[in-house]
Copies of this chain bind each other. A is one copy, B any other.
Amino acid sequence: MDDDTLVSLRRDLHRKPEPAWREFYTTTRIVEALEELEADIDELYVGPDAIAGEHRLAVPDEAELDAWYERASAYDIDADVLESLEGGYTGAVAVLHRGEGPTVGLRVDIDGLPRAESEGAGHEPAEMGFRSEHEGAMHACGHDAHATIGLGVIDAIADSDFSGTLKVFFQPAEEVIGGGKSMAESEHIEDVDYLLAMHIGLDHPTGEIVAGIDGFLAVAHLEATFFGEPSHAGARPEEGRNANQALATAVQNLYAIPRHSEGETRVNAGVIEGGSAANIIAEEARLVAEVRGETTELMEYMREKGTRVLESAAEMHECELEVELGAEAPSATSDQGLVSIVADVAGKTEGVERVLERDKLGGSEDATFLMERVQENGGLACYIGVGTDHPGGHHTSTFDVDEASLRHGIDVLAGAIERVSLEQPGR
Contacts and interface: CB of A to CB of B under 8 A. Distances in A.
Interface of A: 113-115, 175-177, 202, 217, 219, 221, 230-240, 242, 244-245, 247-249, 251-253, 255-256, 258-262, 264-282, 285, 288-290, 292, 301, 308-309, 311-313, 315-316, 318, 326-327, 361-364, 393-396
Contacts of A268: 233, 237, 278-281
Contacts of A217: 234
Given A256-B256, A272-B275, A280 B232 contact: no
Contacts of A244: 251, 269-272
User: Which of A233, A236, A252 has most B Cβ within 10 Å?
Assistant: A233
A235 B271 contact: no
Contact of A394 (B232, B256, B285, B396): B232
Contact of A276 (B114, B231, B281, B362): B114
29 contacts: A113-B277, A114-B277, A219-B279, A233-B266, A235-B362, A235-B394, A236-B362, A236-B393, A237-B258, A238-B259, A238-B260, A238-B261, A244-B251, A247-B248, A247-B251, A247-B272, A248-B248, A249-B249, A249-B253, A252-B252, A255-B255, A259-B266, A264-B264, A269-B282, A270-B275, A272-B274, A272-B275, A272-B285, A308-B316
B308 A277 contact: no
Nearest to A222: B278
Report the copy number of this chain in the oligomer.
4
Contact of A316 (B235, B251, B253, B292): B253
Contact of A271 (B114, B240, B278, B361): B278
Nearest to A136: B276
A308 to B, nearest CB: 6
A237 B259 contact: yes
Nearest to A270: B278
A317 to B, nearest CB: 8
Contacts of A221: 278
Contacts of A262: 238
B259 A270 contact: no
Nearest to A283: B115
A222 to B, nearest CB: 8
